[in-house]
Amino acid sequence: MTRLSADEVQHVAELVKLKLTAAEIELFASQLSAILDYAAQIQEVDTSQVPPTATVLPLRSIMRDDVTEPRLSVDEALANAPNRQDSFFKVHAILDGSQ
Amino acid sequence: MTPAYELVVGMEVHAQLLTQSKMFCGCSANAFDTEPNSNTCPVCLAMPGMLPVINRQAVAQTIRAGLALNCTIGAEAVFARKNYTYPDLPKGYQISQYELPQCSDGWIEIDTAHGAKRIGITRAHLEEDTGKLVHADGVSLVDLNRAGVPLLEIVTEPDLRTIEEVNEYLTRLRQLLVTIGVSSGDMEKGAMRMEANISLRPAGSSSFGTKVEIKNLNSFRAVRNALEYEIRRQSAVLATGGQVEQVTMGWLEHAGRTYVQRSKESAHDYRYFPEPDLPPLAVSREWVAELQASLPELPLARRSRFMAAYGLKLADADVLSADRGVADFFEATLQAVGGVVTPHKVAHWIMGDLFRLLNEHNLDRIPIPAAHFAELLQLVARHVINANTGSQVLKTMFSSGESAARIVERENLAQVSDANVLESAVQSLLAAHPDEVARYQAGKTQLLGWFVGQVMRETRGKANPDLVRQLLQKYL
Ligand SMILES: [Zn+2]
C-alpha cells in the first residue's frame, strides 16, 4: 500500500499551480495513493524481454510540408481570453526574481 | 600569477531554424515583429483537441546541422512533453526531443592559444519556442506569435576552459549554422539564445565543482560579461572556504550581475513523457545521405583549402572563409581575373578597400558583381590605373553600380604612362625646386617620396608611380 505524504501532494500541487486546503491534501493523498497502487500492479508485469516503445501505434514519421496556412485574426485568437489588453492576453504579473 | 581556479563551461545554444512555418502548425515562423497574437492558430494556441504535425523542413535542418557538427543521426527520434506551467506556454508543456534526440555525440573544432581543439557536442535536438511575455504595471502581457517556432538546441560537453574558448566556440558555431543555411544567426532578432553552465575547480583538479546555470544570455557579449561576473563571484565564495550553491540564475544586462531564479530544492520536475500525439520519427539512411549531399563546403574546410590552394596565410584565409558570401565572392573574382591578379592581391583588395566600403555603407552583403571587381583589379594589374585611382573607382562602383572600365573612361582616369609627358613634368618640378634637389643630392634621399608626391599631384593622381620614380632617379 502506497501512502503519499502531505508534502508530496503539496509539491505536485505547486508544480501545477494549484492551491489546496488541508482537507483537499488529505483527500488527494489517499486518491493519488490508490492510483499509484494501480500503477504498481502494472509494474509487476515482466517486461524485460519487451523493447521500450513511445507509442502503441504502427505509425512512423508523419510529417507535413513546410508551408504557411491562414491564421486566426487577433480577435478570434483572443475570443476565449478572460482578460485582454490591446492585442495581448493579460495575466497576473509574473515575477522571476529579477525584480 | 596563475589563477587558483580553473573555469569549466558547457554551453546550450538555442538557434531558431530557418523555416517558412512553425514546428507543428502552418503559422509563419517569421512574423513575430507584427501585431501581437496576429500569427496564431488553434494548434499553437493549444485549443482542446488540436493535433500537432511535424514540419519536415525543421527536421531536415536539424539533421543538416547535426551532420555539420559530426553527430550521429538517430535512426529514431522521439518527441516528449516537458511539463511546466508558465503563461508563455499555452499547452502547459513544451514539445521537445528528450531521451532520443535527432543528433548526438558530435564535435566542433575551435582555435585556441594552444592550437585546434575539439569541443564535444552532447546532443542537438529539435523543440518549439515559447511565446513572449511583456511585463507592465502589475500585469504580464502574453504574445503568442513566436510560440511554436522551431528551435534547434545544441548542447556541448563541459569542454570549454576559458572565456576566449567560449567566445570562439559561439563564433564558430554561428558561422557554421549560417553557412549551411540552418539559421540566420541574427542575434538582434534573437535567432541565437544562450545558456552557460559554469563551475570552478582548483587548478589541476580533475573532478568538477558545483555548477551554476545562467539563462537568458542573448548576445556573445552578455555571455562574456556573465561568465566574468560569475568567475569573480564564485572565486570569492571558494576563496573564503564557502560552497557554491547549485542554482539557476538569470543575467541582468543593464545591472551587469546575475540573480538567482531557482534554487536546487525548487528545481523543476518536468515529468517528461513521450508525446502521444506524435508518432516517433524514423529517419531513413537515404534521407540522411541526401541531406549530407546538400551541405556546402564548411568554413574550416574552406579555410584549409584557401591556404593550400592559394597560399594564403591562416589569418587571411580565416577572414575570407568566415562568411559564405565573401568566400564565394573571393573565388568568383579569382576565376574571373584568370591569373592576371594573384590570390594574395585579390585577398588584399577584399579585406582592405572592399571591407572598408561595406562598413561605410553598413552592408553585410557585397553589392557589386565579382566580374566587375575582377575587371577593376585587372585594370590595376595592367597599370591602366594606379592603386589609388583603383580605390576611388571602387568607391564609385559601390554608389553607381557601373563597371570599372566605364568609370575610368568617363572620368578620364587612365594612368599617365606616357614617358614624354611625365618626363617634362619631372623636369619642370626639379627646375622649380632647386633647394630640395640640392638637399637630395647632398644625401637626403628620403626626399624622393616627396618628389613623387608632387608629380602625382601635378597629374591629379594619374601618373604611373613606378615610372615617376624611375624618371626622378634618372634626373636627380
Ligand atoms: Zn499556429
Query: How much of chain B, in percent, has pLDDT values that exceed 70?
Result: 97
State which residues have CB under 5 angstroms from ligand 1, the bound ion: B 25, 27, 41, 43-44
Per-residue pLDDT at B8 exceeds 80: yes
Are B280 and A61 in contact (CB < 8 Å)?
Answer: yes
- Please tell me the distance between residue B95's alpha carbon and the centre of ligand 1 in angstroms: 14
∠ CA B287-B292-B297, nearest 5°, is: 160
pTM of the complete model: 0.84
Per-residue pLDDT at A66 exceeds 80: yes
R_g of chain A, CA atoms, integer Å: 22
Report CA dihedral (B59, A72, B137, B92) to the nearest 10 degrees: -50
Three-class DSSP category at B4: coil
- Please tell me the distance between residue B99's alpha carbon and the centre of ligand 1 in angstroms: 26
- Which residues of chain B have a CB within 8 Å of the CB of A74? 35-38
**Chain B residue whose CA is closest to A86:** B36
Query: How far apart (Å, rounded) are the C-alpha atoms in residues A20 and B299?
Result: 57
Per-residue pLDDT at B369 exceeds 90: yes
- Which residues of chain A have a CB within 8 Å of the CB of B37? 74, 77-78, 87-89
Q: Encode pLDDT of A2-54 as tens digits.
A: 788 999 999 888 877 789 999 999 999 999 999 999 999 998 999 999 887 77
Q: B 108-137 residues with CB below 8 A of A?
A: 133-135
Give DSSP secondary structure letters for A44-55. TS--TTS---S-
Average pLDDT, chain B: 92
What does the pLDDT read at residue B1? Answer: 41
pLDDT band at B460 (very low <50, low <70, confident <90, very high): confident
- Please tell me the distance between residue B147's alpha carbon and the centre of ligand 1 in angstroms: 8
B149 closest CA partner among B23, B2, B6, B18: B23
Residue B203 or residue B356, greater confidence: B356
Per-residue pLDDT at B415 exceeds 90: no
**Residue keyed to cell 574571373:** B336
Dihedral sign for Cα atoms in the order B370, B372, B373, B377: positive
* Mean pLDDT along residues B388-417: 86
| B194 in Cβ contact with B227 (< 8 Å) | no
Q: Does A87 touch chain B (CB under 8 A)?
A: yes
- Which residues of chain B have a CB within 8 Å of the CB of A78? 37
* Mean pLDDT along residues B110-116: 92
DSSP run (H or E) holding B122: strand B115-128
CATH number of A6-43: 1.10.20.60
Q: Does A1 touch chain B (CB under 8 A)?
A: no
| B143 in Cβ contact with B36 (< 8 Å) | yes
Query: How far apart (Å, rounded) are the C-alpha atoms in residues B217 and B225?
Result: 10
Question: What are the helix and strand counts (H, E) for chain A?
Answer: 3, 3
Q: How many CA atoms lie within 13 A of B161 on its CB side?
A: 16
Q: Encode pLDDT of B440-451 as tens digits.
A: 888 888 888 888
| B320 in Cβ contact with B347 (< 8 Å) | yes
Provide the residue type at B371 as one letter: A
Per-residue pLDDT at B260 exceeds 80: yes
Query: How far apart (Å, rounded) are the C-alpha atoms in residues A90 and A83?
Result: 5
- Which residues touch B166 (CB under 8 Å, ≥6 apart)? B9, B11, B160, B196, B223, B224, B227
CA of A27, closest CA in chain B: separation in Å? Answer: 23
| B20 in Cβ contact with A68 (< 8 Å) | yes
- Which residues of chain A have a CB within 8 Å of the CB of B138? 93
- Which residues of chain A have a CB within 8 Å of the CB of B275? 54
pLDDT band at B302 (very low <50, low <70, confident <90, very high): very high
Q: Does A38 touch chain B (CB under 8 A)?
A: no
CA of B144, closest CA in chain A: separation in Å? Answer: 9
B303-308 CB contacts, 8 Å cutoff, 24+ apart: B306/B330
Q: B 245-274 residues with CB below 8 A of A?
A: 250, 252, 259-262, 268-269, 271, 274
* Mean pLDDT along residues B8-25: 97
CA of A57, closest CA in chain B: separation in Å? Answer: 8
- Which residues of chain A have a CB within 8 Å of the CB of B86? 94
Q: B 37-76 residues with CB below 8 A of A?
A: 37-42, 45, 53-59, 76
B118 closest CA partner among B71, B78, B59: B71
Per-residue pLDDT at B51 exceeds 90: yes
Q: Encode pLDDT of B467-476 as tens digits.
A: 888 888 888 7
Query: How far apart (Å, rounded) are the C-alpha atoms in residues B142 and B135?
Result: 9
pLDDT band at B362 (very low <50, low <70, confident <90, very high): very high
Query: How far apart (Å, rounded) are the C-alpha atoms in residues B311 and B285?
Result: 38
Q: A 41-70 residues with CB below 8 A of B?
A: 54-55, 57, 59-70
Three-class DSSP category at B201: strand
Q: Encode pLDDT of B182-221 as tens digits.
A: 999 999 888 999 999 999 999 888 889 999 999 989 999 9
- Please tell me the distance between residue B129's alpha carbon and the centre of ligand 1 in angstroms: 12
Average pLDDT, chain A: 88
Per-residue pLDDT at B224 exceeds 80: yes
φ, ψ of residue B279 in degrees (nearest 5): -65, 155
| B67 in Cβ contact with B291 (< 8 Å) | yes
Query: How much of chain B, in percent, has pLDDT values that exceed 90?
Result: 69
What are the distances in angstroms from CA B203 to CA B8, B149, B241, B323, B413? 11, 42, 16, 37, 64
What does the pLDDT read at residue B2? Answer: 53
What does the pLDDT read at residue A98? Answer: 55
Task: Tell me the fold of B419-475.
Answer: Arc Repressor Mutant, subunit A (1.10.10)
**Ranges of CATH 1.10.10.410 domains, chain B:** 419-475
* Mean pLDDT along residues B350-362: 95
- What are the residue ranges spanned by the domains of chain A? 6-43
Q: Encode pLDDT of B65-78 as tens digits.
A: 999 999 999 998 99
| A19 in Cβ contact with A13 (< 8 Å) | yes
Q: What is this model's ipTM?
A: 0.80
